Amino acid sequence: MYRLMVQEMAGMAHQADPTMRIQARSVIRDLMLGLIDLDHAISISPLVQHTLQQIEAYSSRLQLLRASTQRTTPAALEDAAMPHLEPGSVLVVDYLQKLPVPDVPNLEERVYQAVEILKEMAIRNQVAVVALSAASASGIGIDRLRMEHLRGSDALGHECDVAIVLNNKATATSDRHLKFDLSQHDEARRRAILSIEKNRRGEVDVHLDFRKDFANFRFDPNGTFMNEALEGD
């Protein structure tokens, strides 16, 4: 809840001066630590009140479900989530490799079956499923993560309609753009690249450039198309 409130407040940055935002963040932190109650938080900071009103406006459309790596099988996930979802809704699974499939100890086979089940679930219930994926051992620490570096990449590549891969711009960008320009390299460290590597109904190899705003637990949503070449292109 703390992160969600901070995210919403960051989106309203143009509506409040920096002093108000700093005060509001302090109030939200005290609220989440239990040092003050909600009424007190609202009375101290009008910005906190406005932030809560923003969240309340969509709260009926946001459901957070606690999952278990032992008990939240694909069938259990469908039973828990679908009563909250209408056709056209979005189900986010964080993350795919943690989804247990009974009697399937092998990771690759488990991912393959989980992806198939999630896709059938999406079609059956007319919802979109967004599944976050962990990198394999070969992808950890690599300069540019690609779809083949994800755990169970064979199944993911075959079944998914859209595959999006996130990278740090400073490591994923070709050396010829950053190697001899320290100012560009410093700026790249503050940015991330979102690459569309598979798209059944549209373009692929589309790379979008977003500024990191991790102090507010988000990326700045106002991104641009990337002009530089990436490693391996």
Average pLDDT, the chain: 90
Q: List phi, psi (to 5°) of 2.
A: -60, -45
Q: List phi, psi (to 5°) of 145.
A: -80, 135
Give residue-wise pLDDT tens across range 65-102: 888 888 999 999 999 999 999 999 999 999 898 999 98
DSSP letters of 73-110? -HHHHHHHHGGG--TT-EEEES-GGG---TT---HHHH
Length of the chain: 233
Give residue-wise pLDDT tens across range 102-136: 888 888 888 888 999 999 999 999 999 999 998 88
Q: Reduced to 3 states, what is the DSSP secondary structure of residue 211?
A: strand
Give exposure, 81-97, as e/b (b: 16+ Cβ within 10 Å): beeebeeeeebebeebb
Q: Tell me how far apart the alpha carbons of residues 146 and 152 are, in angstroms, rounded to a whole number.
A: 13
Q: Check the CA dihedral 11-16-18-24 and report its sign.
A: negative
Entry pTM: 0.84
The domain limits of the chain are 2-61, 63-160, 161-233
